[in-house]
Amino acid sequence: MKNSFHHAVPDQHGYFGDYGGSYVPTELQLIIDEITLAYQQIREEPAFLDELSRLYRHFVGRPSPIFHARNLSARYGTDIYLKREDLNHTGAHKINHCLGEALLAKKMGKKKVIAETGAGQHGVALATAAALVGLECDIYMGEVDIAKEHPNVVRMGILGARVIPATHGRKTLKEAVDAAFAAYLADPHTQLYAIGSVVGPHPFPMMVRDFQSIIGNEAREQFQQMTGALPANLVACVGGGSNAMGLFTAFLDDAEVSMHGVEPAGRDLATPGEHAATLSQGEPGIMHGFKSYMLKDEQGEPQEVYSIASGLDYPAVGPQHSYLKDLGRVSYGVIDDRQAIDAFFTLSRLEGIIPAIESAHAVAYALQLAEQGERGSILVNLSGRGDKDIDFVIKHFGAEYGVGSL
């Protein structure tokens, strides 16, 4: 299936309405302008699009299927379908944009891609793409996360990437961002900073969306073939917002399709620091080089945020989501830790599919829609598989769900 990357937004300065843009120091802006120019050229090049399509098909295993979850559907009285991004090589949607970014870096003559990672999912996907395309790869990771996420650290090493510990402050994701940023500024000519979601300064929100839009392009066609109609509802979890934009983009002009983004309510939506529900609880502001809804503390610094799903705990959100929220085109709701874990077991036991805890937020929301009386079909983006989460889930929730510790 061919990707077409022509969309109404952003404008040429990277704005989605009021949101997006590029708020970075002048010397960095010059480098980012080069990336924008290079991307604008290659997004039109048949050779690039063909190469990306070939890798999606033969390396990632696309198209990912849509699965009609009949057991869930019967239990909840609504037809529920899953877009199976969990079946992609490396187990989630992130490989879709990592391949695009690695190919861009190669075309630009860069030697290396760099990025930060929290739980290691973005790091593993980027290390995979770098190995395939023939680039070096440096992944910055907090020392605390390195200790916690041992299997992903080992994977990156096997794939030939260097994992560089961030040793200051709280030694987690925020410090890893600082370290990666400093390394990038020190040598922006031989490296490309491969951002891991639809966030950061222009062109990254546009570029990552374009690479992820394969999800919705496939899903729109597959769903019509399966059912003869479009889905009545789309549901996707929102951390930075890349898997959600990937699904939504192809349907934005279909007024009959309702869209729902799901943010993490964590332990408590009413307490700052205990959730990461940016669109529900945040306000417009500027952070990490772009304007969007964000969660800030009293000093105007990025708020500490929390979710049981490490892929969802980010204090901002992609600018196109802020735009779609204000337009009212997408509605944004929340699911807390408990509801996500419950959906994790429900999907595992009714359908034989263990989801990533991130994706379980979207599943939980779909079940809630059905319980509230939604009778139109629901297509859920199952952004990733749960292998990475099983040890954590069993340690904390195993007894409650009748699974002995291992």
Ligand X SMILES: *Cc1c(COP(=O)(O)O)cnc(C)c1O
Residues labelled catalytic: 94, 116, 383
Q: Which is nearer to ligand X, 79 or 207 (CB)?
A: 207
Pick from 165, 158, 90: nearest CA to 129: 90
- Applying CB under 6 A, which residues contact ligand X? 92, 94, 121, 197, 237-243, 311-312, 356, 358-359, 383-384
| Minimum distance, C-beta of residue 243 to ligand X, in the bound complex (Å) | 3
Tell me which residue has its CB nearest to ligand X: 384
| Minimum distance, C-beta of residue 246 to ligand X, in the bound complex (Å) | 8
> Roughly what angle, to the nearest 10 degrees, separates helices 337-351 and 390-397?
110
The CA-based dihedral angle spanning residues 53, 35, 319, 324, taken in that order and rounded to the nearest 10 degrees: -40
| Minimum distance, C-beta of residue 117 to ligand X, in the bound complex (Å) | 10
Q: How many angstroms separate the Cα of 340 from the Cα of each of 56, 335, 336, 344?
A: 29, 7, 6, 6
Pick from 288, 289, 338, 352: nearest CA to 315: 288
Give, as one character, the DSSP assignment of residue 329: S
**312: which 2 tokens?**
């969802």
Longest Cα separation, the chain: 58
| Minimum distance, C-beta of residue 40 to ligand X, in the bound complex (Å) | 23
Q: Which is nearer to ligand X, 243 or 258 (CB)?
A: 243
Q: Which is nearer to ligand X, 222 or 383 (CB)?
A: 383
Output the CA angle 262-267-269, nearest 5 degrees.
Answer: 60
Specify the pairing of strand 19-20 against strand 15-16. antiparallel
Q: Which is nearer to ligand X, 188 or 282 (CB)?
A: 282
Q: What order do you get walking across the sheet with 191-193 strand by strand?
A: 162-166, 136-142, 112-116, 191-193
Q: Which is nearer to ligand X, 106 or 356 (CB)?
A: 356
| Minimum distance, C-beta of residue 71 to ligand X, in the bound complex (Å) | 22
Q: What order do you get walking across the sheet with 258-266 strand by strand?
A: 66-68, 80-84, 378-382, 233-237, 258-266, 330-336
Q: Which is nearer to ligand X, 311 or 315 (CB)?
A: 311
| Minimum distance, C-beta of residue 334 to ligand X, in the bound complex (Å) | 14
Report H helices in 352-389: 357-371
